[in-house]
Structure 1
């Protein structure tokens, strides 16, 4: 007897999963062609219709870690050791993303609602998850960095004085309002963000590759590639906070990557198509979002469809997300490490990192590269700002809407009535926080807090994904990969935490 048949006997109303949420409704998996409204899925359709959620995650990924933290570490300590850490982090995070997305595709529920199915229940896990997510991301280092890049681009002056920094922070606040404006438009907010990231990520990767080919010697390319694939411990003397930040923000947000996977539901992957999405205020009509997910019966036809969806997920994650994240972090660290080695140039610091590339390029290669680097820095950090800011809002909206019937009644079934006012309030809160510290300092806090999630959420995923219908249920190797995530990212969080509490890390390199 299959697990689905057991579930239907146990509960004629649905498929029970966990003990603290209603059973999942049961329906057949849709065909990908039904979801994406195309006659068949080929390479063209995969690019124009299927690929999408990973682009939003990639837009976040090619950001603080790639433009600020990894280049800062490599320029200070070299490629060997740090490159290997980067590669391991990217591989483990992509496997982790696959497990998070497995749950979404099989149930149509976003992760924060899935976690609510684990004892002690919704109140505990939704509150804890949002608290950790906000502790890691509300500091606004990504926004501050984007504001500084924009300030220098407009004025030509580095952000050195208190008045200049104040102006840059107001620009950062204005950029958050721009994100709010972007989310207003479109049938699906997720689709609007995907299209924006197509443009931004395309500009970043293509122009960065061209500039690296022009200014970086091939000997440095070779050294960087060797550093990426050479197994080695972190460099001697590396700061525990810096190495923890690189680990946490390589690819995305280590243990907190789940917050950026909600878009698979909205894009319509698997059972997400049966549940609904948040629409834009202009050009979209909000349809009811099911507060409880749906899963599928264990039948040969649904097993065939599941395999198709999982292959599409692998394409989105391993080709677009993993490939794009690795290329992005490689190209940025390659450029900054070359610039730090030019005659008369000092290594970057936390204070100079947001505009370091532009400053050095202007002295050695001319004004064109100066303005390109400023524009690049802005796009890199603004794409991160879009994803993190919207993700903070989305997860609160999804968490409250899915767990509180009173909240749904208050909104008359339209989550936008909360989504947009809350986004405006959050912009003000983050705007105030922006004035607390330097961008890189804020980002380092965020990145290390992201590693905390790796000590918690892989265990929840093991529980949830072990109880899915047969075709979707995780296999033995998934347990191994999730435990490696716990050990790897958890170690760097503990090392960071001990360093902050005692003044010296648990393990020094």
Structure 2
């Protein structure tokens, strides 16, 4: 029995959904089991989320222009992206296929969409601004001061951190699980430290200014560019139209049909194979009930963990930046924003606070570096494994034999690129390129999800939300391109 879906890819095999208890090897899913076993992919996404946008672009925009006219962009972006994440993950859970593989089912077929999607992801993130910014933080930790704008040493630290990512993935049994555990530690430490710092040093008036700025509709402040605002929109929460590149972790976590398809193991793992094509479930009473259970787990993971964490991850650094600007009497620049808050707090409260701020910044940016670097390798590996029988024969069904050599190649390329521009400039480029995805993938997703088994199909209003993603993020990308080649369509 099979389920046809789209073009140019094999029909989906049909079999029963597994139970959450079967996947997570527990007798029941209570609150303890939920957070110990089921929550996870959202943490990987959140580790990326609380990074370039939250530590660099958001604080830079608020530090220069204030909250009014900027804050609502953050809130709308986070809401739209969380809805979009749920829809991407719906496809993964229902079929076991990662989005980059699923795109190959959309007419005219995989020869267009799969290579194009890999190219867009790599082109968007290979600039390595997230890595270069983390290197600036390490430089400040080593030398006790912010690096000069043209210093080469921070870039070498960024290269070293890329090598750390390689070591983390290589030493894992199951790569997704290693990323989850690393982000449990980093995200928890980041949010707790930010919360404590903000409670201790930020006055209530600035808390209120930040919170009210999120919900106050207002025109963007005079002087802010379309590129800055588009970068803020694109890298709030995650990566706007390209968020799908992280949602494949639900397959490796074993959510729904992901359990039937397989996962990418680390060098210490068992060399698990990953099926080239997905599977889905029959429309019967048992599987309808199981689908609802998996969907509820997804909603907890995305809305209860990712959305809440993304809002806190943007609110806390921006109000801290606002307070730092007030104390310093000057605004951050693109060159010094990675270390600006730590420098100001250190001057006011002493060297201990300075170093705490630097460690916090390095953790924020390294969690982003870990997730993005690994995801570029993962997306390419999934695409190649699914579409090339010749490659599958060459690697003997073990994706690791492609994954790790490609990671080394990518490490070398990024290491070269990060020496070419200021880190924040690289991040703004990546953020605006992420908005390009919003012009394409919401429509591909609507096509795929409309053809899932009936219990897994979205409701009509879900399609409306996807169109809103297209309009909101797509506007910023079009304006960014117009600004890049001449004059922006809209100025503020």
TM range (shorter): over 0.9
Give unpaired runs (5+ residues) of structure 1: 1-11
Aligned to 2:168: 182
Aligned to 1:496: 480
The whole-number CA distance in structure 2 between the counterparts of 1:22 and 1:233 is 49
Q: Is the 1:104–1:264 Cα contact (8 Å) retained in structure 2? A: yes
Aligned to 2:291: 306
Q: Is the 1:393–1:423 Cα contact (8 Å) retained in structure 2? A: yes
Query: Within the alignment, does 1:219 sit opposite 2:205 as a pair?
Result: yes
Matches within 5 A, 1:361-400: 361-400=345-384
TM-score, structure 2 as length reference: 0.99
**Counterpart among 107, 123, 133 of residue 121 in structure 2:** 133
Runs of 4+, deviation exceeding 2 Å: none
The whole-number CA distance in structure 2 between the counterparts of 1:135 and 1:423 is 15
Task: Please state how far the C-alpha of 1:476 moved relative to its aligned partner.
Answer: 0.1
The whole-number CA distance in structure 1 between the counterparts of 2:58 and 2:451 is 38
**Counterpart among 49, 60, 63 of residue 75 in structure 1:** 63
TM-score, structure 1 as length reference: 0.96
Task: Please state how far the C-alpha of 1:345 moved relative to its aligned partner.
Answer: 2.6
Residues 177-224 of structure 1 show CA distances to partners (whole Å, capped at 9, x for unaligned) of 100000012331000000000000000000100000111001111111
Higher deviation after alignment, 380-389 or 148-157: 148-157
Query: Within the alignment, does 1:231 sit opposite 2:214 as a pair?
Result: no
Aligned to 1:9: none
Query: Within the alignment, does 1:52 sit opposite 2:37 as a pair?
Result: no
Residues 154-177 of structure 1 show CA distances to partners (whole Å, capped at 9, x for unaligned) of 111321164xx2111111101101
The whole-number CA distance in structure 1 between the counterparts of 2:272 and 2:181 is 22
**Counterpart among 206, 219, 226 of residue 240 in structure 1:** 226
Aligned to 1:103: 91
Aligned to 1:487: 471
Give unpaired runs (5+ residues) of structure 2: none
Aligned to 1:256: 242
Residues 91-138 of structure 1 show CA distances to partners (whole Å, capped at 9, x for unaligned) of 000000000000000000000000000112112111110111112100
Aligned to 2:490: 507
Residues 38-89 of structure 1 show CA distances to partners (whole Å, capped at 9, x for unaligned) of 1100110011000000000000000000000000001111111111110000
- Where 2:243 maps in the other structure, the secondary structure is helix
Aligned to 2:252: 266
Query: Within the alignment, does 1:430 sit opposite 2:418 as a pair?
Result: no
Aligned to 1:404: 388
The whole-number CA distance in structure 2 between the counterparts of 1:233 and 1:252 is 23
The whole-number CA distance in structure 1 between the counterparts of 2:138 and 2:131 is 11
The whole-number CA distance in structure 2 between the counterparts of 1:200 and 1:476 is 38
The whole-number CA distance in structure 1 between the counterparts of 2:470 and 2:68 is 24
The whole-number CA distance in structure 1 between the counterparts of 2:222 and 2:271 is 55
Aligned to 1:327: 312
Query: Within the alignment, does 1:475 sit opposite 2:459 as a pair?
Result: yes
Aligned to 1:39: 27
The whole-number CA distance in structure 1 between the counterparts of 2:287 and 2:219 is 45
Aligned to 2:282: 297
Residues 399-427 of structure 1 show CA distances to partners (whole Å, capped at 9, x for unaligned) of 00011111100000001011111111111
Higher deviation after alignment, 231-240 or 134-143: 231-240
Matches within 5 A, 1:131-170: 131-160=119-148, 162=150, 165-170=151-156
